């Protein structure tokens, strides 16, 4: 039985990836940081078959211990400070976790067993102010946030350990991917949650920043399949993963509210608080290499993704409200 160690197991992708690896017959170890991590119980409930192991990307010794103890065949490094606005507020910590954390994990692999295959969660945020569209593996990087800069560092250190030490290390350059498990602060989930709350009469307004930003939004469940496929190839390489379609934040609002019979223009207000010091205006991924070599393709398109997220939030809120949901006047 193959063994995989996943950092960031408490995050959106960590849970989907662990489920996928378990379905492929893997023994899965999920790394959790901190004392009494509040998300530990959620992970234990969602994926009870996964083993939890302590560790922190800020702590070299804990990574060496985790690798020595679990002796994995594959390591998936999903742990990061992944929220772009937080990276502007805490740029140094972002560099430590999202950037240097990659080096610490690669060092642990090099020291304990350099045969371990390594996946690095690289990001389309590295393209930032790209001059060409869609972006592929050859598109130059121009990051626009401390998060993007830290991911560029993580990308190159992964490449360097491949070239310098022959480690089977791959970068998955993933475009935005979403799901009902997406963190509540990311724009898609913020919209789907608010639309559902407004529908149930729990809220009236939704404050957002830049409505014109364009993203290539796919479904997280599809994207974790690509991570696994990258580590099953004969040679390590880097791959762009995206749908090839991009939409504005405004489009997402329109689709989400319309699905509930609401007009987004009556509820969405713009607030400077949610605009960024420097923005990534538009991203769109060209994953022809992944389609050709990995045989990967997305299964969920934009309208279905929006529907999936809105329906899940509505059901979740109704469940939380219990009988109150039926008696409350909805919009
Ligand atoms: P997420 O939901 O924000 O999860 C981030 C994970 O990182 C959490 O499990 C968090 O654990 C963990 N983490 C934070 N600080 C850590 C530390 N010091 N040591 C170890 N783990 C730490 O992110 P996601 O959406 O699942 O994304 C997974 C990865 O893919 C991230 O690296 C992200 O940057 C990258 N990525 C995401 C997308 C996307 O659209 N989702 C696109 C491209 C790349 P706690 O619960 O302890 O905070
Ligand atoms: O949902 P977002 O916060 O995601 P962003 O910044 O694109 O980053 C996500 O995708 C990256 C892949 O490209 C990952 F690497 C990263 O870890 C993360 O998962 O924002 C999307 C867009 C931005 O242009 C933002 O300015 O939505 C715009 N936006 C407008 N109003 C907002 C809001 N974003 C957030 N979070 N909140 C708003 O109120």
Q: How confident is the model at residue 249 (pLDDT cuts 50, 70, 90)?
A: very high
* Amino acid 331: pLDDT: 66
3-state secondary structure at position 172: strand
* Amino acid 329: pLDDT: 61
Q: 37-63 burial, b for 16+ CB within 10 Å, e for fewer?
A: eebbeebeebbeebeebebbbeebebb
| Residue 124: active-site member | no
| Residue 145: active-site member | no
3-state secondary structure at position 286: coil
* Amino acid 324: pLDDT: 78
* Amino acid 325: pLDDT: 78
| Residue spans of alpha helices (H) in the chain | 12-23, 40-46, 60-70, 84-89, 91-94, 101-112, 146-165, 187-199, 220-230, 249-259, 288-289, 302-321, 324-327
Atom 38 of ligand 1, residue of closest alpha carbon: 176
Cα pseudo-dihedral 103, 105, 107, 109, rounded to 10:
-150
Q: Which residues pair with 208 in a beta bridge?
A: 270
pLDDT for 196-243, tens place per residue? 999 999 999 999 999 999 999 999 999 999 999 999 999 999 999 999
| 246 alpha carbon – ligand 1 mean position (Å) | 23
- Mutation test residue for ligand 1: of 5, 7, 8, the one with most atoms within 8 Å of CB: 8
| Residue 212: active-site member | no
- The Cα–Cα gap between 314 and 94 comes to 33
Tokens standing for residue 31: 């790394």
- The Cα–Cα gap between 83 and 296 comes to 26
Atom 26 of ligand 2, residue of closest alpha carbon: 210
Q: Which residues pair with 39 in a beta bridge?
A: none
List Cβ neighbours of 34 (8 Å cut-off, separation of 6 or more): 56
Q: Taking a C-beta distance cutoff of 8 angstroms, is the pair 37, 15 a contact?
A: no
| 322 alpha carbon – ligand 1 mean position (Å) | 32
Q: Which residues pair with 172 in a beta bridge?
A: 121, 239
Atom 5 of ligand 2, residue of closest alpha carbon: 84
pLDDT for 257-277, tens place per residue? 999 999 999 999 999 999 999
Tokens standing for residue 177: 């991917």
pLDDT for 267-318, tens place per residue? 999 999 999 999 999 999 999 999 999 999 999 999 999 999 999 999 999 9
Return the ∠ at Cα 152 (arms to 165 and 215), rounded to 5°: 135
Tokens standing for residue 79: 């742990």
For the segment 50-68, the average pLDDT, to the nearest whole number, is 98
CA-nearest of 205, 310, 194 to 260 is 310
Which atom from ligand 2 is nearest to the alpha carbon of 80? 17
Q: How confident is the model at residue 187 (pLDDT cuts 50, 70, 90)?
A: very high
List Cβ neighbours of 23 (8 Å cut-off, separation of 6 or more): none
Atom 17 of ligand 2, residue of closest alpha carbon: 82
Residues having CB closer than 6 A to ligand 2 are 82, 84, 123-125, 175-176, 185-187, 190, 208-210, 213, 215, 249, 274, 276, 279-280, 283
**Catalytically annotated residue among 26, 76, 125, 223:** 125
pLDDT for 1-28, tens place per residue? 999 999 999 999 999 999 999 999 999 9
Q: Taking a C-beta distance cutoff of 8 angstroms, is the pair 222, 177 a contact?
A: yes
């Amino acid at each position: 039985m193959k063994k995989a160690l996943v950092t960031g197991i408490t995050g959106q992708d960590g849970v989907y990836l662990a489920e996928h690896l378990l379905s492929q017959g893997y023994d899965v170890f999920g790394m959790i940081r901190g004392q009494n991590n509040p998300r530990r119980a959620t992970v234990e409930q969602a994926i009870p078959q996964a083993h939890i192991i302590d560790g922190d990307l800020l702590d070299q010794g804990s990574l060496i211990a985790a690798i020595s103890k679990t002796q994995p065949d594959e390591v998936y490094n999903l742990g990061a400070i992944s929220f772009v606005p937080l990276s502007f507020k805490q740029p140094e910590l972002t560099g430590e976790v999202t950037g240097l954390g990659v080096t610490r994990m690669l060092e642990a692999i090099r020291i304990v067993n350099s045969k371990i295959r390594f996946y690095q969660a690289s990001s389309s945020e590295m393209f930032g102010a790209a001059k060409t569209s869609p972006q592929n593996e050859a598109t130059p990087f121009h990051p626009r946030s401390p998060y993007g800069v830290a991911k560029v560092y993580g990308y190159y250190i992964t490449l360097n350990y491949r070239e310098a030490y022959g480690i089977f290390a791959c970068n998955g350059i993933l475009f935005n991917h979403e799901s009902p498990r997406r963190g509540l602060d990311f724009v898609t989930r913020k919209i789907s949650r608010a639309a559902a709350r407004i529908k149930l009469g729990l809220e009236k307004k939704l404050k957002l920043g830049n409505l014109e930003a364009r993203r290539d939004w796919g479904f997280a469940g599809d994207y974790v399949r690509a991570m696994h496929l990258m580590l099953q190839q004969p040679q390590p390489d880097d791959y762009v993963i995206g749908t090839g379609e991009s939409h504005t934040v405004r489009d997402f609002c329109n689709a989400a509210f319309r699905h509930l019979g609401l007009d987004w223009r009556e509820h969405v207000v713009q607030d400077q608080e949610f605009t960024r010091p420097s923005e990534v205006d538009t991203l769109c991924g060209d994953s022809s290499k992944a389609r050709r070599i990995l045989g990967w393709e997305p299964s969920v398109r934009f309208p279905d993704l929006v529907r999936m997220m809105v329906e899940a939030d509505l059901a979740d809120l109704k469940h939380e409200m219990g009988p109150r949901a039926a008696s409350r006047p909805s919009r």
